[in-house]
Amino acid sequence: MPQYTQEYRQKIYEGFETTRLLSAVDHVDQLRQLLGDDEDFRPPQIRQDLLRLHQLAMEFVNNGAMSKGPELFDLAFDLDDQIFTIREALDEVEKTIQTLTDLAPDPDEDYENGED
């Protein structure tokens, strides 16, 4: 296990803003709103919406119910927006963690015993 020096700690200090982790928590909370179970442990709304989209697609595509077209595509666009939001939130969380892991020491390098 590497021993960390004050110089290495300074590298981390200059290369990573710890408040970004709090921002990552905010992004996870955003995901929880979209993907978390509702009250009484009901599945998230996005799941219900995907099932409804499937039903509409079956009626429109397979059964020729042309009147379902507007609802089908409105819901598809709404879900696309939600998925975009989910992707953005996950990308931000990943960027935050990647910034920190990029600063991790090489486990094969020797570090001098530093002060705590």
Q: Is the residue at 111 inside a domain?
A: no
Kindly list the averaged pLDDT for each block of 10 residues, start to end, along the chain of length 116: 80 90 93 86 91 96 94 97 96 96 79 49
Please state the domain count of the chain: 1
Question: Would you state the pLDDT for residue 97?
Answer: 96
Q: Is the residue at 44 inside a domain?
A: yes
Q: Is the residue at 92 inside a domain?
A: yes
Q: Is the residue at 107 inside a domain?
A: no
Q: Quick one: 72 exposed, middle or buried, by C-beta within 10 A (0-12, 13-18, 19+)?
A: buried
Q: Is the residue at 115 inside a domain?
A: no
Question: Would you state the pLDDT for residue 112?
Answer: 52
Question: Would you state the pLDDT for residue 3?
Answer: 73
Range of the domain at 18: 6-102
Global pTM?
0.76
Q: Is the residue at 108 inside a domain?
A: no
Q: Is the residue at 112 inside a domain?
A: no
Question: Would you state the pLDDT for residue 109?
Answer: 67
Burial 77-87 (b: 16+ CB within 10 A, else e): eeeeeeeeebe
